[in-house]
């Protein structure tokens, strides 16, 4: 019989694992770089990520989130 060069299940899982780790590390580094840049330049990051209702207060955002969650329960 001829040997084929098909990847085994372990090799495929190892490749998938490496791909996942690479994507995670790259995403983490990009997010960290944006966060550090914003922190060092004293930027107001709250305007970048407005809440569900576009509130500028953490308390209002939490209240909005709780009300939205509670509406799904009833």
pLDDT given for residue 52 in this prediction? 57
The three state secondary structure string of 11-55 is HHHHHHHHHHHHHHHHHHHHHHHHHHHHHHCCCCHHHCCCCCCCC
Q: What residues contact 20, with CB distance under 8 A and at least 6 apart? A: none
* Of 31 and 2, more confident: 31
Name the pTM for this structure: 0.52
pLDDT single digits (tens) 23-43: 999 999 999 999 899 889 988
């Amino acid at each position: 019989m001829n040997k084929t060069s098909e990847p085994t299940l372990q090799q495929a899982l190892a490749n998938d694992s490496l791909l996942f780790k690479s994507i995670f590390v790259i995403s983490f580094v990009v997010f960290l770089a944006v966060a550090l840049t914003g922190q060092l330049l004293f930027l107001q990051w709250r305007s970048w990520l407005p809440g569900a209702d576009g509130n500028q207060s953490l308390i209002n955002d939490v209240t909005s989130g709780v009300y939205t969650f509670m509406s799904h329960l009833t």
